Structure 1
Amino acid sequence: MTPGSPDRTPDHGRTPEQARVRQIALFVVGIAVVLLVSSVTWFGSDRAGWGVAQLVVAVVVAVVGAVLYRRASDGRGR
């Protein structure tokens, strides 16, 4: 890389651990989205209790993913 060229690294200056934590966080948030979207099927089959339980799990998983993502963004990858 020459002195005047832009930094084209995909991690934008993050450490490898921060990049890994960010990827894990995005994966966890993706799982939360799948849980959230698929919970509709429980309500459609007259099993609202299971649907509510799955929504609660989806929210908890989404919060964990958000905390991990924020930790990776703040630079506290551990």
Structure 2
Amino acid sequence: MTSPAGDHRERLVALLVAGVAVVLLVSSPTWFASDRVGVGAAQLFLGAVLAAVATFLYRRAQRR
């Protein structure tokens, strides 16, 4: 069984990962505008993956 402090820490890590995902997703249009489509696409992909990881971690922390 996980302690309440462990659940709180896991929730904070999920929110941190979600914040990084948001920054990547919001800043990706800059790369598309400067004709760096590959970097923009990679940033969108990584942002989506991190958003999924954050969702998984947050839901996991809520179940405990």
Write 1 or 2 for the structure with the bigger share of helix.
2
The normalised TM-score by structure 1 is 0.76
Figure out how many residues of one structure are paired with residues of the other and give that number. Answer: 62
Structure 2 regions of 5+ residues with no counterpart?
A: none
RMSD, matched Cα: 1.1
Deviation string 1:5-33 (CA, Å, 9 cap, x unpaired) is xxxxxxxxx71100110011001000000
Deviation string 1:40-59 (CA, Å, 9 cap, x unpaired) is 11001011111011100000
* Larger relative contact order (Cα-Cα within 8 Å, sequence gap ≥ 6): 2
Residue 68 of structure 1 aligns with which residue? 57
How does 1:11-22 map onto structure 2 within 5 Å? 15-22=4-11
CA distance in 2, matches of 1:31, 1:74: 23
**Which structure has the greater CA radius of gyration?**
1
Residue 45 of structure 2 aligns with which residue? 56
Q: Identity of aligned pairs, percent?
A: 53
